[in-house]
Amino acid sequence: MMDMSKLPILKDYEEKIYVCNRCGFCRPACPVLSQKNMEETASPRGRMSLIYGLITNELKPSMTIVDKIYLCTTCRYCYVKCPAGLEVDRIIEVARYELTKITIAPPEAHKIISSKIDNYNNPFGEPQFDRIKWLQRESAMKLPEKAKVLYWVGCMASYRVQDTAITTTKILRHANVDFTILGTEEGCCGSVLLRTGQRNPVVNKYARINVEKISAKGVETLVTSCAGCFRTFSKDYPEIVGDLPFEVLHVSHYIERLIKDRRIEFKEGLPMRVTFHDPCHLGRHVGVYDAPRNVIKAIPGVELVEMVNTREEARCCGAGGGLRSAFRELSITIAAHRLKADALPIGAKVLVTPCPFCILNFEDATKVYGIGIDILDLTELVCKALRI
Amino acid sequence: MFMKQRKLVQIIEKLKNIVRSEHVLTSYEERYCYSRDASLYWAMPDVVVRPHTTEEIVEIVKLANKEKIPITPRGAGTNLTGGAIPVKGGIVVDMTGMNRILEINRTNLIAVVEPGVVHEDLEKELAKHGLFWPPDPASTYSCTIGGAIAECAGGMRALKYGTTRDWVLGLEVVLPTGDVIKTGAMTLKNVTGFDLTRLFVGSEGTLGIITKAVLKVRPLPEALLRMSAAFYEIEIAGLAVSKIFETGIVPTIIEIISIECIRAINEWLKLGLPEVDALMVIDLDGTREEVEKLAGKVEKILKDVGAIEIKRATTAKEMEDLYLARRAAYPSTFRAFRKSLTVDDFCVPVNKLPEAFRLAREISKKWRLPMAIIAHAGDGNIHPIWPVDVRYPEEIDRVLKCHTELSHGILKLGGSISAEHGIGILKASLIEEEYGKKAIEVMRAIKRVFDPNDIMNPGKIAL
Ligand SMILES: Cc1cc2nc3c(=O)[nH]c(=O)nc-3n(C[C@H](O)[C@H](O)[C@H](O)COP(=O)(O)OP(=O)(O)OC[C@H]3O[C@@H](n4cnc5c(N)ncnc54)[C@H](O)[C@@H]3O)c2cc1C
Ligand code: SF4
Ligand code: SF4
């Protein structure tokens, strides 16, 4: 099928690729590079060189190039550091798409994910019915057929980090929000496919189907607790299907709104010292930095201590861009580095973050490396404060 | 491919016995990533090695010397003159893996580092101890200390503090023969024999591989006062520098940026800088009383010369904005020109600054090149910046011709063709014009003493 979306192709970035003057300012930012002890081939500039080689035909597409181009979490930190303002992360994503088009990419792990999504509607290959298992664990409740707000749970929270799904629904119920979910009708948003160069099924199918299903519920606002889904709905879908017929909010936005409207009130204090980790796909990708912080600050007793590298300078957790699925060990060392280099030195005992991908990776890192720090989803913190 | 395939295979095997095999990069794509630096040049290495200890480097160099294979040391590859380009192929030795800060000693005022430490990392670590290392190249985010030493990097603070050569006390170097020598000392003073440390500083990797450095550091000054002044003509800004010096005041920095940068910064960061021909930023450091007193004097001089909008930064925000303005000059010019940039580097006696500015503009105009100027003006150090679309050889050619013509002009003014970016490939043909034949012969003779087989970064500095 023809790609009718407005998603860019490599040619669209050609001018930009020639602008890179190899100053290397992007190098120290890269979470992958620091784990590879600064080897140029694993750096943003290295990836830009390889893409330059592809564009100028000085290089032919090869497995080595695929390897290097997929060593990226699409964390976008390099973009923040680039004096020319080059969106290295997007250029990498588009290069992945071109390599996928000629079938030498993606790596096997990502191909498997794609086929699982195709067959099971989720990247884990779990039964569709299990998508609402967490809901059964939560006291059985009836959700309306139609509602103003739709909570988009996302695959990660549905199957792997179910606490996030449970606490998010608890909060919505506590605030008497007229909301529903798609339940077993929910599928994958396609985030992982877009990030790994496999955009076709998202462009041809998933984006449209998801938007249709959501619209059919009469929804005005979509709320999601996943930074990856949020980026996909708020940035990618409009490029694929045009403006969406509903508003897209991350749960941190929505809770901030509920607090402001006094639909949530914190009556008791929660004496706790926490730090906050900005998920890349929420922060650098969409620019949401204040909403989750405002929620944390609204809880009496909670003291928020910032890490040195924070907001647009936040180091990545290592899970994004398909890195966790294809290079698990590397991905977890990146998470461990974030905790050890940034969170521990400020004496943080609890790290709060509003993304199930970050949570999973950080939790794995604490186990593998024995790092003494609790990882909490923002919604879990809010539930604790509300005593629900 | 410079080496015969069979020999290369043997060399690679031997290298893999010296360092872990994952630290020997052989694929075309991997080597391609090491084929360029921030200059306009390009050449493929035959193999890239990433050592992590001095011992490994000794073995690598011994092997290369025995087999007469060229070696090009490389830091972060941010130099602008082609220093890290393996023009004769051979082995690129990537030093970025050796990146430990070994010691910071507040009492002795020294820091001991491995060469791959990134400049900004050192700066941050030193700040935690209330210290700083004065050389501050604008490439701080990426460049390594080894690269800074090999290029004798400067920066803004060079006016008051001098360049890298004034802040290195000692080195450990692996010579092209594989011998390891120590130069200088861990002490603040030392005249034990010839000053080999200074010989290595600025030697661009042609005499040996630096594996450790003892740096002289300073406590951070108590107070810093920042001010700016705008000028209708950049030549007048140049003149103002001489006038400040004539009264015996030496600020920490005197920077000048031209209208092209000012406009670009305003467009990007909305700082509302006065859009006149040139903007000057001055820093004074010392005790609080000192800087207040000096600032008053400097303001008066600036006014007398004809500066407008002389402003002292009084709040932290104003301090930051002005610093940002200077730091953003390069990136915003980048964004405004929407092309890759070539940054040149000259030095003139301070009283020749007005002429040098005029000359840079005239010659750029002649070659139909838009140009922005960023100048560490207090040093007489000018960086003309030309945008270049690397897809068009004709455009690159014009930039190079403009650069050469300007170099001749700068030499006529009694200046130097390189203030802080080195010679590399770009300026090799100009070095004799600056020094004469005999001086080059002396340099070549020194090179032979260190490197009889000419394996260490061959093809650079006209050696
Ligand atoms: C945007 C930008 C701004 C810049 N601003 C400044 C500035 O303000 N002031 C300034 O002085 N320079 C500046 N530079 C130039 C450059 O960044 C500096 O020269 C820097 O110090 C080079 O360090 P590097 O680690 O990148 O070295 P590389 O580029 O990798 O190497 C530079 C030279 O050093 C040699 N070398 C590297 N490591 C070793 C070692 N361990 N032993 C022996 N030889 C070695 C190499 O062979 C090469 O000849 C700038 C460059 C850019 C791109
Ligand atoms: S997006 Fe992140 S992981 Fe990818 S190249 Fe840039 S800094 Fe590295
Ligand atoms: S920071 Fe930007 S211009 Fe510099 S090397 Fe990286 S991508 Fe290229």
Compare all CA atoms of chain B with the CA of A48 and give the residue at the minimum distance: B33
Chain A interface test: which of B25, B32, B99 (most A C-beta within 10 Å): B32
Q: How confident is the model at residue B72 (pLDDT cuts 50, 70, 90)?
A: very high
Shortest CA gap B29–chain A (Å): 7
Give CA–CA dist A24/A4, Å, rounded: 35
Inform me whether the pLDDT recorded for B1 exceeds 70.
no
Apex A341 CA angle, A359 and B118, nearest 5: 130
Q: Residue A102 burial (CB < 10 Å; 0-12/13-18/19+)? A: exposed
Residues of A in contact with B27 (CB under 8 A): 64
Residues of B in contact with A42 (CB under 8 A): none
Residue whose structure tokens are 């992590």: B52
Give CA–CA dist A329/B394, Å, rounded: 48
Q: How do the domains of chain B map onto residue ranges?
A: 5-96, 98-219, 223-330
Shortest CA gap A1–chain B (Å): 33
Around Cβ B417, how many Cβ atoms within 10 Å? 24
CB-CB under 8 Å, B38 with A21:
yes
Given a contact cutoff of 8 angstroms between Cβ atoms, the answer to whether A237 and A243 are in contact is no
For chain B, what is the mean pLDDT?
A: 96
Interface of B with A in 245-284 (CB under 8 A): none
A50 to chain B, any CB pair closer than 8 A? The answer is yes
CATH topology of domain B98-219: 3.30.465
Give long-range contacts, CB 8 A cutoff, 24+ apart: B361-364: B363/B402, B363/B405, B363/B406, B363/B409, B364/B402, B364/B406
Compare all CA atoms of chain B with the CA of A86 and give the residue at the minimum distance: B335
CB-CB under 8 Å, B36 with A64:
no
Q: Is B37 in the pocket of ligand 1 (CB under 6 A)?
A: yes
Residues of B in contact with A65 (CB under 8 A): 29
Give long-range contacts, CB 8 A cutoff, 24+ apart: A242-247: A244/A211, A245/A211, A245/A215, A246/A150, A246/A214, A246/A215, A246/A219, A246/A220, A246/A221, A246/A222, A247/A220, A247/A221, A247/A222
pLDDT at A382: 98
Which DSSP symbol is given to A87?
-
Taken in order B53, B55, B60, B64, the sign of the CA dihedral is: positive
The residue type of A142 is K
Which ligand neighbours the alpha carbon of A26 most closely? 3
Of B25, B38, B52, the CB nearest to A23: B38
Domain B98-219 identical in fold to domain B223-330: no
Of B28, B50, B141, the CB nearest to A28: B141
List ligand 2's pocket residues with C-beta within 6 A: A 29-32, 44, 47, 72-78, 88-89, 92, 316
Residues of B in contact with A23 (CB under 8 A): 38, 78, 139, 142
Compare all CA atoms of chain A with the CA of B79 and give the residue at the minimum distance: A23
Q: How confident is the model at residue B354 (pLDDT cuts 50, 70, 90)?
A: very high
Give CA–CA dist B15/B61, Å, rounded: 10
For chain A, what is the mean pLDDT?
A: 95
B30 to chain A, any CB pair closer than 8 A? The answer is yes
Nearest ligand 1 atom to the CA of B83 is 49
Nearest CA residue ID for atom 4, ligand 2: A72
Residue ranges for chain A with pLDDT beneath 50: 1
Give CA–CA dist A134/A120, Å, rounded: 18
Chain B interface test: which of A39, A87, A313 (most B C-beta within 10 Å): A39
- Map out the domains of chain A with their CATH numbers: 4-101 (1.10.1060.10), 108-258 (3.40.50), 266-386 (3.40.50.11810)
pLDDT at A5: 78
- B257-310 pLDDT per residue, tens: 999 999 999 998 888 999 999 999 999 998 999 999 999 999 999 999 999 999
Give the residue from B446, B443, B445, B447 showing the smallest Cα distance to B458. Answer: B447
Taken in order A277, A280, A282, A287, the sign of the CA dihedral is: positive
Nearest CA residue ID for atom 4, ligand 3: A23
Q: Does the domain formed by B223-330 have CATH 2.60.40.10? A: no
Chain B interface test: which of A20, A21, A51, A104 (most B C-beta within 10 Å): A21
Q: Is B83 in the pocket of ligand 1 (CB under 6 A)?
A: yes
CB-CB under 8 Å, B340 with A18:
yes
DSSP A146-204: S-SEEEE--HIIIII-HHHHHHHHHHHHHTT--EE--GGG-----HHHHHTT--HHIII
B27 to chain A, any CB pair closer than 8 A? The answer is yes
The complex scores an ipTM of 0.95
pLDDT at B326: 87
Residues of A in contact with B52 (CB under 8 A): 37
- Distance (angstroms) between ligand 1 centre and the Cα of B347 equals 18
Q: Is A135 in the pocket of ligand 3 (CB under 6 A)?
A: no
Pocket test of ligand 3: the residue of A86, A90, A92 to mutate, having most ligand atoms within 8 Å of its CB, is: A86
Shortest CA gap A226–chain B (Å): 32
Q: How confident is the model at residue B447 (pLDDT cuts 50, 70, 90)?
A: very high
Q: What mean pLDDT do residues B439-459 have?
A: 97
Inform me whether the pLDDT recorded for B256 exceeds 60.
yes
pLDDT at A4: 62
The CATH code belonging to domain B5-96 is 3.30.43.10
pLDDT at A34: 95
- B99-156 pLDDT per residue, tens: 999 999 999 999 999 999 999 999 999 999 999 999 999 999 999 999 999 999 999 9
pLDDT at A139: 54
B334 to chain A, any CB pair closer than 8 A? The answer is yes
Which ligand neighbours the alpha carbon of A17 most closely? 3
DSSP B341-390: EEE--EE--GGGHHHHHHHHHHHHHHTT---EEEEEGGGTEEEEEEEE-T
A81 to chain B, any CB pair closer than 8 A? The answer is yes
Give CA–CA dist A377/A383, Å, rounded: 10
